[in-house]
Amino acid sequence: MSTQSDANNHWHRRLERNTTLFTVLVTVAILIGGLVELIPLYQVHQRAEDTALVEPYTPLEAVGRDIYVREGCYNCHSQMIRPLHAEVLRYGEWSRSAEYAYDRPFQLGSRRIGPDLAREGGLRTNAWHWEHFWDPRAVVPGSIMPAYKWLYRRNVDVDDARATVRALRRLGTPYTEDHVDNVERYLREQGQAIVDDLATQGIEARWDQEIIAMIAYMQVLGTHLPALLGEDAPAPAPAGEAPGVDAPETAAPPAGQEPATEEAAADQAADEPALPAGEAVADEGADEDGAESDTERAPQDAPPAQDGDTP
């Protein structure tokens, strides 16, 4: 009996009965949580400076991004590397906020059925992507990624592209009037560069195929990181060279990170099929097979644009 009333008089029982005080304390607890979220925003000027080091997507990349959203790639792929040791080892340098400056909407994703794509740019050759989207299992045995054959048949809609550029410009992306007026020229020039690169692998493509825009988008992901880290130039420049960066973020990346950033610098210019060392960490250990079939399969299997094998 006495133990029962002791329990009822415990300090927190008394507190819970005092509804006014309890309400005040709950409010204070919630306010602390709010402050923890708000205070970092006051450091936002640093991020604004970093944003200046990030290039907006080219029109072709923006179109590829639209296709990425349309196809729901975010259901299986994230685009955010958390600052955790295992993630950094697997995917590369962790994501910085400025890298998302022109992402509208964000493609952070919430599930990783496939690997994170935040550092995909320069990791694979254009030809690898061409083969992979046509038939993922031909490149990565056992892959559960669906094929996207219709991207080879469908053409980029220039009017849609212009609307995208115009809308992004209105939202603050620094495109010029020229980007809007001559969007087709921008699409064609960058698309043709990818087509020419594919041609060196015996692949026949057209600049206005949707797959070309998708490849352009894949190849830009994560490539602005070197500028953000102040290690822009391939020539050995002293750390912290880049103007406007004085944050601790400019510290040298942890050892083992070179593959991601070097590859990023090589970007689309790379036409050697070599995969970066350290790739074995990536998915399913099947990547080496992918490299082999990449070179074997390229010419004959170039998917015909008018193949009917599509949904």
Summarize as ranges the residues that interact with ligand HEC (CB under 6 A). Answer: 68, 71, 73, 75-77, 113-115, 117, 120, 123-124, 136, 140, 143-146, 148, 214, 218, 282-283
Any idea what DSSP says for residue 248?
G
CB of 120 to ligand HEC, least distance (A): 5
Q: Which is nearer to ligand HEC, 50 or 294 (CB)?
A: 294
CB of 131 to ligand HEC, least distance (A): 11
Tokens of 16: 């819970």
CB of 140 to ligand HEC, least distance (A): 4
Nearest-CB residue to ligand HEC?
114
My answer on whether omega of the bond before 105 falls inside 30° of 0, hence cis, is yes
Give SS3 for 155.
strand
d(CA 147, CA 297): 16
Burial level of 220, CB count in 10 A (0-12/13-18/19+)?
A: buried
Tokens of 119: 């550092």
Q: Which is nearer to ligand HEC, 116 or 231 (CB)?
A: 116
Q: Which is nearer to ligand HEC, 8 or 75 (CB)?
A: 75
CB of 191 to ligand HEC, least distance (A): 17
Q: Which is nearer to ligand HEC, 149 or 179 (CB)?
A: 149
Q: Which is nearer to ligand HEC, 60 or 245 (CB)?
A: 60
DSSP 172-217: T----HHHHHTHHHHHHHHHHHHHHHHHTTT----TTBHHHHHHHH
- Give me the numbers of helices (H) and strands (E) for the chain, helices first please: 16, 0
DSSP 74-127: GGT------S-HHHHHHH-SPP-GGGGTT-SS----S--SS---TT-TTTS-HH
CB of 136 to ligand HEC, least distance (A): 4
CB of 75 to ligand HEC, least distance (A): 5
CA-CA distances (angstroms) from residue 45 to 34, 191, 280, 306? 20, 36, 39, 51
- Among candidates 69, 88, 72, which has minimal Cα distance to 80? 88
CB of 293 to ligand HEC, least distance (A): 12
Q: Which is nearer to ligand HEC, 68 or 175 (CB)?
A: 68
Q: Which is nearer to ligand HEC, 101 or 140 (CB)?
A: 140
Which residues, 6+ apart, have CB-to-CB distance to 279 below 8 Å? Answer: 123, 259, 287, 288
Q: Which is nearer to ligand HEC, 240 or 273 (CB)?
A: 273
